[in-house]
Amino acid sequence: MRAVLIATLLSLLACSSSSSPADEPWVGSWTRAGTQVTMCGGVSTTTQLAGTVTISLGAATGTVEASVEILSCPFAGCTSTTNCSLLLSVTGDSATLGPGQSCAASVDGADATITFATGTDTLDDDTITSNATGTSSNGCTVAQQYTLTRTVRPPPMH
């Protein structure tokens, strides 16, 4: 009897998480495609955004964590980043990037840190449409627009 009770408790804990099942549609591996417009000293430059984004459940209910990995730029005019994790608050099919989060990036070989002021994401099945704005450590402003397309959907967690 005691073994059955322990097994039952363990199975409940295995499905237990501080995240919500409503957050699960966001989870998976995604391919990113879009642009970043950087404005420095009155000069606007557009670079391509590409690479992989992995979204996992956040530690708190109603959050997900996006890990952005673009290990190399396969073409000129590309923005790359590694080891960049961003926390988003999720409500249904919308997510919001909290202000003040930052990522180290390289834009056409120039290193900078981008600190985000705003970010919104909208989920539509296997596509996420995203917009984010911020400033870079070299005094420029950045505006990103991109689409994430799901490449891997994990099995249901509950």
pLDDT at 2: 39
- Is there a contact between 49 and 35 (Cβ–Cβ < 8 Å)? yes
Q: Does the structural domain 18-152 have CATH classification 2.40.128?
A: yes
CA 114, CA 104: separation in Å to the nearest integer? 6
Going by C-alpha positions, the residue among 54, 60, 47, 79 that lies closest to residue 18 is 60
Going by C-alpha positions, the residue among 130, 154, 143 that lies closest to residue 32 is 130
- Report the DSSP beta bridge partners of residue 155: none
CA 8, CA 12: separation in Å to the nearest integer? 6
pLDDT at 70: 58
pTM score, two decimals?
0.78
pLDDT at 69: 72
pLDDT at 21: 66
Element (H, E) at 10: helix 2-15
pLDDT at 101: 93
Q: Which residues are CB-contacts of 30 (< 8 A; sequence separation ≥ 6)? A: 52, 53, 54, 55, 128, 148, 149, 150, 151
pLDDT at 18: 46
pLDDT at 107: 63
| DSSP for residue 137 | T
Residues of the chain with pLDDT under 70: 1-22, 70-82, 107-109, 156-158
User: What φ, ψ does residue 22 adopt, rounded to 5°?
Assistant: -65, -20
CA 116, CA 130: separation in Å to the nearest integer? 13
